[in-house]
Structure 1
Amino acid sequence: MFPPVKIVSGGLEIREFGPPDAAQVTALVAAGDRTALPPGSPGDVADVDRWLAETVHQRRLDGAGVHLTIVETASGEFVGSVGLRDTDWAAGTTEIGYGVRAGRRGRGYATGAARAVGRWALVDGGMRRVQLHARLDNVASVRVAERAGYQREGTLRMAVWDGEKAHDLAVFSMIAIDLEAAEAAR
């Protein structure tokens, strides 16, 4: 089981989704814009309250991962989400993913959140390795991984199907030694 998450870093508050987020999540679901919400988030407005009150919390307690909201501390505005999934406690590994609202992209929110949550997972979350996969044609996501301090390990060729064609995935990771190197560089 992951411990409760509340990270304040670089002008962001990163915490578990919960009932106070109902209005913002409902608005995104109603608009059909789920790009800033985590995988498994509700596709129907009627399911939002249950997802926020039960599913998100249970996911963390079960140790499967965490669904976290990214909030800009200055404005209190929801800017996106970041989360951990595919957690393997025996191996000490998990995968990070992120998404930012279209109008808030390009401002460093995903980079800051990916860096902070990766660090949290390694220091407080009990993980030895945080991995990240980004489609090669998603240049912004690849840049986020690089700027957040994840190390590129290689490419999974033709690894993901989008319903029309296969895409290559860049593989990144963050381990404790990467945190030490980042601290030494400061």
Structure 2
Amino acid sequence: MALPDTLPRLRRGPVVLRAFEERDAGLVVSAASDDLIPWITTVPTSGSRRDAVEYIARQHSRLKSGAGYSFAIADSETDAAVGQIGLWLRDIDEARATTGYWIGPGHRRRGYLTAALQALTDWALTLDEVERLQLFVEPWNEGSWRAAERCGYQREGFLRSWQQVGQQRKDMFVYSILSGAPVPTDS
């Protein structure tokens, strides 16, 4: 399947991946208070509703600009947004895509991240242009890298001083999964 020009709606277990809506501004406002999310994403640090709505508008522009697909992670029963996950296409001309994600404060440790990452991975690996899907995780973020491993990603290495996070350069683990590699089923 070729890269779609619209954002699909993906479902897996307790989550639905869907387009952001203005009603999701409260989640973005809550994410602004997190110690890390605003430093590694474009979530505004202000915590204002106006800035949250502008963030949501930027998520819609990602597809139009060719940057990638930005999904709200929503609870499958309530459709309330709990986080964000993206498929980023900066290196798609080399058959590589990157994913990144966050789960808002108050919504963690409920299986949302693993389900969302598995849904995105399953979909991304059906795209003709994606041969390699990768992600970068700080070594201390065990919840994130364990979710990646549960979804079939393999740790490939340790990248020293890989990314600017706030005022400091941070080390990252690099994980990947390849097209054609077996993807685990629900565990």
Query: Could you say what secondary structure the match of 2:94 adopts?
Result: coil
Q: Which amino acid aligns with 2:72?
A: T
| TM-score for the superposition, normalised by structure 1 | 0.80
Which residue of structure 2 lines up, in the alignment, with residue 141 of structure 1?
144
* Conserved 8 A contact 2:15-2:76: yes
Q: Are residues 1:28 and 2:30 paired? A: yes
Q: 1:47 aligns to what?
A: 51
Structure 1 residue 68 corresponds to structure 2 residue 76:
no
Aligned residues: 181
- Find the partner of 1:77 among 73, 76, 80: 80
Residue in 1 that maps onto 2:135: 132
Cα distance 1:125–1:71, how it changes in 2: closer, same or farther (>3 A)? farther
The 1:35/1:9 distance shift into structure 2, 3 A limit, reads farther
Cα contact 1:36–1:81 (8 A) shared by 2: no
Give the superposition deviation at 1:86.
Answer: 5.3
Corresponding position: 1:123 with 2:123: no
Shift of the 143–183 alpha-carbon distance from structure 1 to 2, 3 Å rule, reads closer
CA distance in 2, matches of 1:104, 1:71: 10
Structure 1 unaligned blocks of 5 or more:
none
Instruction: Give, in angstroms, the shift of residue 56 of structure 1.
Output: 2.0
Q: Give the alignment partner of residue 99 of structure 2, picking from 79, 96, 99.
A: 96
For residue 77 of structure 2, what is the amino acid of its counterpart?
Answer: A
TM-score, with structure 2 as normaliser = 0.80
Deviation sequence 1:61-117 (CA, Å, 0-9, x none): 221122211111113222111112352221121211111122221122111111111
Identity %: 30
Amino acid at match of 1:48: A
Report the structure, 1 or 2, having the larger helix content. 1
Give the root-mean-square deviation of aligned CA atoms.
2.9
How far apart in 1 are the matches of 2:37 and 2:163? Answer: 20
Q: Distance in 2 between matches of 1:40 and 1:10?
A: 27
Measure the CA separation in 1 of the matches of 2:123 and 2:145: 21
Query: What CA distance in whole angstroms lies between the structure 2 residues aligned with 1:166 and 1:36?
Result: 16
Counterpart AA for 1:49: V
